[in-house]
Every structure is written in C-alpha cells, then in structure tokens.
C-alpha cells in the first residue's frame, strides 16, 4: 500500500522537486517528533538531563492583616501617634484612641484635636494641650499597642513634633511608666519653639516589662501643639531607623524567601475606590505620609511604606514583588464591618492616565537612575542604588468584569511598552477554579500575560488530591504564581499536606514560577484570619509548623528538577507513585552543586524508598538530613512554641540506597557533589 507521502510525491513530475519535497517532509517529521519529545519532557516525564525550574519558587506574602504592620512588624511602639484614627477605621475610634489626658498633682488642663495649621496638610490632625495649672504635670498618656514592651538596658528613640502656641516655654518631660506610676526611664525636652519642630531624645529602660505606658507632660501653664509622638527601640531589624521589629524581621529572614509580595491581598484594592493602596502616599518623611483605614478594620499609619518594603527585601536577600490595584476596588467593598457596600468600582477612565503614570512611576522609583524624577526620591530616602525590581502584580483576586478588564489592559499595555523587561503578574480570582478563574485564564492567554496569580485556601485533602494539578498545565501559556495558599489549619496534618503539595509544585517549577503561603503574620488578640504562618504578641514569636515546612523547602530550593531518582517500595514490593504514601522531589542547586531530595510520608506507616543517584556522577557520602515530623496531630502555639521544629543531622549515603521514611514526616536530604 502506498503511503500518503508516496501518493503525494507521485503527483509531482520533477525528480528534483520530489527530492526537495521529501527533504522538507522529513524535516517537518523531525520537528514534529522533537515537538512530541519536548511535550513529553514538559509534561513531567523523562527528565534525564534534568528540567530547569524557577529559581524564585518559594517566597512570602506580606499583608497588613491581623495587625501585621502597625503593632506588628513595624517597630513603632506608640499607637495612633499622629491622631489620625477616625470612625472610618472603626466605629468606636477617634483621634484620641489609645490616648488619655493626664492631670497629676492638682494640674488643670484640657486636650482637643485641631486641623487648622498641621505640620503637613496630608497629616491634618494634631493635639492642642491647654494647661491652666501645671501641678505635677499635665499632658498625654499613650497605652501603645496592648501596652509598650521594654527591655532592661535597651535604648529607645523618642520623637515628637511640637510648638509652643502661648505661655512660657517650659520643658516637656517624657517618661515610660508602669500602670501604678513606677518610672522605667525619663528624659526632658527643653523649651519649645513657636514653630513646628521635631524634638528627639534617647532613653534607656531599667526594666523588662510588657505593659508600660508613655507619658508626655509639662508643668507650666500655656498652650502647646503636639503631633507624631513616636517611640522606637533603637535596636530594629538591621538597625534601620523607622525600622522593623528585630525578632519578627529575623524570623521572616530565616525563611530565606526568594521574593516578598507586598502590601497584600485585599488591602491593595481596598474597601472602595477611596481606599485603594496608593504607594506614593507611603514614601518620604513619615509625617508627610497620607494615612488611611485598613480594609481589615483598623488603621494604616503607612510608616511601613514602599521604601521600607523595598529596603526590607534587600536586607533579607529577597526580590521585591509589589502589587498594585488594577484601578478597581475590591468586589467585597463595604463588607460586614462597613455600612452600604459599594462592591467593585473602577477609577473613571478620564483619570486612568494619572493612575497608569503612578504605576510607571513605581517602577522608576524602584529602578530608575538618581537623575530620574522618582529615582531621585528613592535616593533622597537614602538609597541611590536600584532596588532591582523584576516583578509587578496588577490586581488581586478581582472580579473579571468588563470594567476590570478594560483597566487592567490599559495598565498592562503601558507597563509592557515602557518596561518590557518587567514581568507582569495578572490575577485569576479568589479560588482554584470557577468563573473568575476560567475567565481570568482566558484573558491572560489572550493578552499573553507572563504570569498569573492563583489563590486557594482549601482543606488538607484537597492539597493531597491535587498533586497532579500542574502536571497537565499548558506549557506555552502564562506561567503561574501561587500567590496565596494554605490548608485551613496550623496542625501537623495541615502542614504535611502542604509539604506533599509543594513537592508537586517543585516538580512543576517550569510552569509555577512563584509560590507564597498566606497570610504571613498574626498578632495575638487581633487575628482576623486563620491560619497564618507566624503568630506573635508584643514580646514573643511563634512560628507555626506550616512555617517550618515553608522554611525547609525554601532553604533547600534548586533550579533543576530530576525525575525517577526516587522509586517506591513497600514490604519489598515496588509500587507506583499512586499507591505510595510518599510525595517526593529531587532538585539540584547549580550555585552549590548540591542535590536535594524532599521525601514526604503522608502515611501512618514507615515507608521505604529506593534512591538512585548514579546519574549525578561523583557524590559526597557525607550528607545531611533534616526531618520534620510529629506522631500526633499537634501544633505550635505562643504558649508552647516548640512542639514541632526541624532537626538536622549528618546522614551517610551511597549512590544507591534505601531511605526509610518515618510515618507522617518530611525528610530533606542534602547531598554535596563538590568534594570539599
Ligand atoms: O490572605 C488573606 C486574604 O485572602 C487576602 O487579602 C485576599 O487576597 C484573600 O482573599
């Protein structure tokens, strides 16, 4: 029987043409064939040479939810330092929230809030202290964020903007005291000028306490104005002024995240159009920042702003991943704690040019030369060098409406045109499937958006059952950023299900570019969203067991994935991956040359796996093995923070060996291929 090719050839009269045509057809077949090979390689099989995977895979998601910023990571100890709290934050809040008037020793005076001549128009409220009789001191007391924690021997930077409106200029005394008046430290600010001026003083605490209050008093009659009353520990993370809490900064840094997404979450697209996060309001001197309410039902001083986020990323060696709103507000605007929800609203199209310029200016702020308009502002804040921005997210879980799509496209096109090297991340709704997910993906592929942001908060079973989710994703469309995920709990069963899923994320690190657990931080007594990765109060930090899973995966990332290194067995019978309770992955880190095996046993029995490293040539038999495990389904808490944590020991291996994985455990074996 003649083949199609032969029949095709017969119709041609000329041998030369026939020869040429045959060559073309053979070439076509070769290309087709190699295409099939490529497809096989990309579908998670047959990686003899290893498959390149993202070197930015595991990072973190920071959002000011659960008091993550003010009262949390941001080291400011004074609550409502600028008297900007209002009932748009919370119905029982006002400019005096966390403050009270002090009248000691028969002092007589009043406090009121003024807005007529502020330090900066964007920071309108300040206090007028009217002292009729000084007594033993008239002034203000601040209770901090659930009290002010102090450490004996530590220094604290106090700062205030003040002016003497009338009366004799007299010293202001600042002191940190207990509830019954014990003074831990104090200092004096000499007489005040008639104009707004910033006064600073350093005080050393003589005690370690968790619930001090700050008092600022005068003993002379007169009228004073006060604003931006602030207290920071001198020791902050990396000793930054206006910096982060040292212990929280460190526990985040210990995750060694490859990137930090900020500032959210829903916070980005805000509660109504007036509440979009505007990065330009968050930079420059803190007294000039324009504060606003937080969609999670409290207040953002924005002392932790975009400069501080970029600097924090640099301090911890992570790439910055800012997210801006897609010029629409959150579809849930006007939620349970607000009256009269507005839902999703778009910035008027007539104002889109301005909004787009703000997004372009952000990229210039991060990367532009000091001679550029926004690069010079970065330099003014003390950072002339670029922050090396590579990624920007546009939108967060937005409803896929025509209003959203129109605005997204305008922003996306402008960024692509001006900054073609920046990787734009789009959004595909709040769930792992459904209408917004499908429409979002279709839109992403129409626009060739480089990466899209998937979110899912699902139960542990979902994570176990979805380990093949990315095996069949189209390799020629947009890549994936798993921007928010968590398995709805902080017990070991939750964490181990995340670990099992993460092996599959690593296996698919060619299509999944980035992944971050969410949310990151939660303060005791202010937790609106559970689970979270790290719990804290004013003095302690408790990394969850989920944190340790993230950490051991993050510090053990690679950039090439290898298949068929680990095979499964049980009582001597070799099993397929589907029959085994093991979830595994093998990567190599090209920087160190190390091979890293991740072996997750989600079963309640010991399970053995065969490991064959012959493909890698020479290996060092002295490996290390990190194990995270728990026999019972327990969790870490603030009162019991060390229930579960990883233990690393030396581990001797050979090129071919059997690893016995204990029940309900994550093992990470790190093997050197360089001999010294
Ligand atoms: O992570 C908490 C919230 O969950 C985020 O703000 C939002 O994007 C998601 O719905």
Digit-coded pLDDT (tens) for 50-82: 999 999 999 999 999 999 999 999 999 999 999
Give me the sign of the Cα torsion angle 477, 482, 487, 491: positive
Cα–Cα dist 392/414, whole Å: 13
Answer yes or no: is the C-beta of 518 below 6 A from any ligand 1 atom: yes
Structure confidence at residue 40 (pLDDT): 30
Phi-psi region of 67 (alpha: psi -120 to 50; beta: other; left: phi over 0): left
Separation of CA 490 and ligand 1 centre (Å): 17
Structure confidence at residue 95 (pLDDT): 98
Digit-coded pLDDT (tens) for 346-376: 999 999 999 999 999 999 999 999 999 999 9
Separation of CA 111 and ligand 1 centre (Å): 39
Q: What is the mean pLDDT of residues 604-623?
A: 95
Separation of CA 265 and ligand 1 centre (Å): 5
Cα–Cα dist 203/187, whole Å: 7
Separation of CA 639 and ligand 1 centre (Å): 27
Q: In ligand 1, which atom is closest to the CA atom of 529? A: 2
Residue that wins the pLDDT comparison between 47 and 536: 536
Cα–Cα dist 20/615, whole Å: 41
Separation of CA 63 and ligand 1 centre (Å): 8
Structure confidence at residue 572 (pLDDT): 53
Separation of CA 122 and ligand 1 centre (Å): 28
Rg (CA), the chain: 29
Digit-coded pLDDT (tens) for 525-544: 999 999 999 999 999 999 99
Cα–Cα dist 463/488, whole Å: 11
Domain ranges of the chain: 4-33, 99-233, 560-671
Separation of CA 276 and ligand 1 centre (Å): 15
* Mutational test site, ligand 1, from 63, 325, 437, 485, max ligand atoms within 8 Å of CB: 63
* Superfamily name with CATH number, domain 99-233: Galactose-binding domain-like (2.60.120.260)
How would residue 480 be classed by pLDDT, with cut points 50, 70 and 90? Answer: very high
Secondary structure percentages of the chain, helix, strand, coil, to 5: 25, 30, 45
Q: What is the mean pLDDT of residues 289-313?
A: 98
Residue identified by tokens 């002292």 is 131
Residue 26 CB contacts under 8 Å (≥ 6 apart), including other chains: none
Q: In ligand 1, which atom is closest to the CA atom of 295? A: 6
Q: In ligand 1, which atom is closest to the CA atom of 267? A: 6
Cα–Cα dist 509/55, whole Å: 8
Burial class (CB in 10 A: 0-12, 13-18, 19+), 613: buried
**Upstream peptide bond of 519 is cis (omega within 30 degrees of 0):** yes
User: What average pLDDT does the chain have?
Assistant: 91
* Mutational test site, ligand 1, from 262, 263, 264, 454, max ligand atoms within 8 Å of CB: 264
263, 62 Cβ separation under 8 angstroms: yes
Q: In ligand 1, which atom is closest to the CA atom of 457? A: 4
483, 393 Cβ separation under 8 angstroms: yes
Nearest in space to 456 (alpha carbons), one of 430, 495, 424: 430
Q: What is the mean pLDDT of residues 325-333?
A: 95
Structure confidence at residue 10 (pLDDT): 34
Task: Give the CB-side neighbour count of residue 275, counting CA atoms within 13 A.
Answer: 28
Residue 613 CB contacts under 8 Å (≥ 6 apart), including other chains: 565, 595, 619, 653, 655, 656, 671
Cα–Cα dist 599/50, whole Å: 18
Q: Which of the residues are catalytic? A: 397
Structure confidence at residue 35 (pLDDT): 29
Nearest in space to 81 (alpha carbons), one of 61, 63, 95, 69: 95
The domain defined by 560-671 folds into Immunoglobulin-like (2.60.40)
Digit-coded pLDDT (tens) for 95-114: 999 999 999 999 999 999 99
Q: In ligand 1, which atom is closest to the CA atom of 430? A: 10
Nearest CA to ligand 1 atom 6: 265
Answer yes or no: is the C-beta of 65 below 6 A from any ligand 1 atom: yes
Nearest CA to ligand 1 atom 9: 265
171, 188 Cβ separation under 8 angstroms: yes
CA separation, residue 549 to residues 82, 261, 495, 504 (Å) = 40, 19, 7, 14
Answer yes or no: is the C-beta of 395 below 6 A from any ligand 1 atom: no
Nearest CA to ligand 1 atom 3: 265
Nearest in space to 422 (alpha carbons), one of 362, 509, 352: 362
Digit-coded pLDDT (tens) for 506-522: 999 999 999 999 999 99
Residue 218 CB contacts under 8 Å (≥ 6 apart), including other chains: 129, 131, 134, 137, 138, 139, 170, 171, 172, 173, 224
């Amino acid at each position: 029987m003649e083949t199609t090719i032969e029949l095709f050839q017969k119709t041609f009269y000329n041998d030369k043409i026939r020869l040429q045509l045959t060559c073309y057809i053979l070439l076509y077949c070769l290309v087709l064939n190699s295409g099939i090979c490529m497809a096989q390689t990309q579908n998670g099989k047959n990686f003899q040479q290893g498959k390149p995977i993202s070197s930015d895979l595991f990072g973190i998601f920071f959002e000011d939810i659960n008091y993550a910023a003010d009262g949390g990571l941001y080291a400011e100890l004074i609550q409502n330092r600028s008297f900007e709290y209002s009932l748009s934050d919370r119905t029982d809040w006002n400019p005096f929230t966390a403050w009270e008037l002090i009248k000691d020793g028969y002092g007589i005076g009043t406090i009121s809030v003024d807005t007529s001549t502020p330090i900066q128009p964007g920071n309108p409220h300040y206090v007028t202290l009217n002292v009729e009789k000084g007594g033993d001191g008239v002034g203000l007391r601040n209770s901090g964020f659930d009290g002010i924690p102090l450490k004996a021997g530590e220094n604290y930077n106090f700062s205030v903007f003040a002016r003497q409106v009338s009366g004799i200029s007299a010293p202001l005394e600042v002191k940190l005291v207990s509830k019954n008046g014990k003074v831990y430290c104090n200092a004096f600010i000499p007489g005040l000028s008639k104009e707004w001026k910033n006064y600073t003083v350093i005080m050393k605490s003589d005690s370690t306490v968790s619930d001090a209050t700050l008092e600022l008093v005068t003993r002379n009659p007169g009228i004073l104005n006060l604003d931006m009353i602030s207290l920071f520990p001198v020791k902050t993370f990396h000793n930054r002024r206006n910096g982060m809490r040292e212990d929280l900064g460190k526990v985040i840094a210990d995750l060694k995240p490859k990137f930090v997404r900020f500032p959210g979450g829903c916070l980005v697209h805000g509660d109504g159009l007036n509440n979009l996060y505007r990065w330009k309001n968050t930079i420059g001197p803190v007294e000039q920042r324009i504060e606003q309410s937080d969609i999670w039902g409290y207040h953002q001083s924005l002392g932790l702003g975009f400069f501080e986020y970029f600097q924090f990323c640099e301090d911890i060696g992570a790439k910055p991943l800012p997210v801006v709103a897609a010029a629409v507000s959150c579809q849930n605007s006007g939620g349970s704690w607000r009256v009269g929800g507005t839902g999703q609203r778009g910035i008027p199209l007539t104002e889109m040019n301005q909004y787009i310029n703000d997004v372009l200016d952000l990229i210039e702020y991060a990367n532009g030369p000091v001679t550029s308009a926004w690069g010079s502002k970065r330099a003014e804040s003390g950072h002339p060098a670029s922050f090396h921005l590579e990624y920007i997210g546009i939108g967060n879980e937005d409803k896929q409406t025509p209003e959203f799509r129109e605005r997204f496209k305008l922003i996306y096109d402008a960024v692509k045109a001006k900054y073609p090297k920046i990787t734009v991340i789009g959004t595909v709704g709040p769930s792992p499937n459904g209408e917004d997910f499908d429409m979002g993906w279709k839109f992403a592929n129409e626009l060739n958006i480089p990466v899209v942001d998937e979110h899912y908060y699902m139960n542990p079973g979902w994570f176990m059952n979805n380990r093949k989710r990315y095996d069949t994703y189209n390799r020629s469309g947009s890549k994936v950023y798993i921007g928010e995920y968590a398995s709805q709990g902080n017990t070991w069963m939750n964490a181990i299900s995340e670990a099992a899923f993460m092996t599959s994320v690593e296996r698919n690190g060619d299509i999944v570019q980035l992944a971050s657990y969410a949310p990151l931080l939660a303060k005791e007594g202010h937790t609106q969203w559970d689970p979270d990765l790290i719990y804290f109060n004013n003095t302690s930090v408790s990394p969850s067991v989920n944190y340790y899973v993230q950490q051991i995966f993050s510090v053990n990332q690679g950039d090439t994935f290898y298949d068929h290194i680990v095979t499964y067995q049980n009582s001597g019978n070799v099993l397929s991956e589907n029959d085994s309770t093991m979830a595994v992955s093998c990567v190599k880190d090209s920087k160190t040359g190390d091979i890293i095996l991740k072996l997750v046993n989600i079963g309640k029995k010991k399970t053995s796996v065969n490991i064959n490293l012959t493909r890698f040539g020479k290996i060092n038999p002295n490996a290390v093995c990190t194990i995270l495990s728990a026999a019972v389904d327990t969790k870490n808490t603030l009162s019991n923070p060390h229930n579960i944590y990883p233990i690393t020991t030396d581990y001797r291996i050979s090129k071919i060996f059997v690893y016995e994985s204990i029940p309900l455990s994550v093992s990470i074996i790190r093997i050197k291929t360089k001999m010294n």
